[in-house]
């Protein structure tokens, strides 16, 4: 049943779990992010590492989709994907991108901007080797972002790849691997009552990270 505009207008949540103070933030936003990710993980959320990735095309049109954060370290935020898909084409032409995490049970959002670099072949291969077999086959079987005439065509391609690699270790395709977003800004958002949310943004500067409180 379609929701009426009135129902949508009435959908609202007052956030009351907790606040966020400058004093409790780590000086290093990656360390702060690790704290929050750890808390999201311990809350049994479904895929706490799911993040919205925004890229822009050659016309300046932004596009978003969800990807999974698979490595989070001092370098930045790494996800894995098909290097021939739409997002990879955007990144090749314009390596700036943005990420958003939304952890509703914690009433928290994190917004990140930065530059994307391709991860090393060794890192992609090591991560690929750790994936379950069907995911490995899927990377070979699916020409990500290209047009499919039918669902059967995809299933046929999967069966073909399965037969091809039967009894063999599945190598990481050349067209598959990681991208690491190196952050230039990271904003931590904690929902508060009456829409008076707490927001702190770290901005990278030559002297290190600065932190600013932002109005909600
Ligand atoms: C929860 C979730 C996690 C996903 N994780 C990934 C991922 O890690 N890598 C990926 O390539 N696609 C992932 N996808 C699929 C993407 O959202 C997207 O459909 C796909 O990457 C093609 O995007 P593109 O055509 O913009 O390149 C995920 C989707 C969802 C809903």
What's the pLDDT band for 44 if we cut at 50, 70, 90? confident
Residue 156, in any domain of the structure = no
Residue 152, in any domain of the structure = no
> Tens digits of per-residue pLDDT, 158-176?
999 999 999 999 999 999 9
Residue 12, in any domain of the structure = no
Q: For residues 49 and 100, what is the distance between their CA atoms, to the nearest angstrom? A: 10
Q: For residues 117 and 183, what is the distance between their CA atoms, to the nearest angstrom? A: 11
- The answer to whether 109 and 102 are in contact (CB under 8 A) is yes
How many domains does the structure of the chain reveal? 1
Q: Is 81 in the pocket of ligand 1 (CB under 6 A)?
A: yes
Residue 30, in any domain of the structure = yes
Q: Check whether 106 has a pLDDT greater than 90.
A: yes
Catalytic-role residue among 121, 193, 195, 213:
195
The first and second tokens of residue 2, run together, are 């379609």
Residue 201: domain span: 26-41+48-132+175-214
CATH of the domain at 103: 2.30.110.10
CA 139 / ligand 1 centre spacing (Å): 12
Q: Check whether 98 has a pLDDT greater than 90.
A: yes
Which residues fall within 8 angstroms of residue 178, CB to CB, at 6 or more apart? 70, 71, 78, 79, 80, 81, 118, 119, 123, 124, 127
Mean pLDDT for all residues in the chain? 97
Residue 6, in any domain of the structure = no
Q: Which of 63, 81, 116 to mutate to test the pocket of ligand 1 (most atoms within 8 A of CB)?
A: 81
pTM tops 0.85, yes or no: yes
């Amino acid at each position: 049943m379609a929701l009426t505009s009135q129902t949508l207008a009435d959908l609202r949540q007052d956030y009351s779990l907790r606040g966020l103070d400058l004093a409790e933030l780590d000086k290093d936003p990656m360390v702060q992010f690790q704290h929050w990710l750890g808390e999201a993980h311990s809350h049994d959320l479904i895929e706490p590492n799911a993040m919205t990735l925004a890229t822009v095309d050659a016309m300046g049109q932004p596009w978003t989709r969800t990807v999974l954060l698979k490595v989070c370290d001092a370098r930045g935020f790494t996800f894995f994907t098909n290097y021939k898909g739409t997002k990879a084409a955007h990144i090749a032409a314009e390596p700036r991108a943005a990420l958003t995490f939304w952890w509703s049970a914690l009433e928290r959002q994190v917004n990140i901007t930065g530059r994307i670099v391709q991860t090393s072949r060794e890192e992609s291969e090591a991560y690929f080797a750790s994936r379950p077999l069907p995911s490995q086959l899927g990377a070979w079987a699916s020409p990500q972002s290209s047009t499919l005439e039918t669902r059967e065509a995809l299933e046929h391609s999967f069966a073909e790849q399965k037969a091809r690699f039967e009894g063999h270790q599945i190598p990481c395709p050349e067209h598959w691997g990681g991208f690491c977003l190196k952050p230039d800004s990271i904003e931590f958002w904690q929902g508060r009552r009456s829409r008076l949310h707490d927001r702190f943004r770290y901005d990278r500067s030559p002297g290190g990270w600065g932190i600013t409180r932002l109005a909600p």
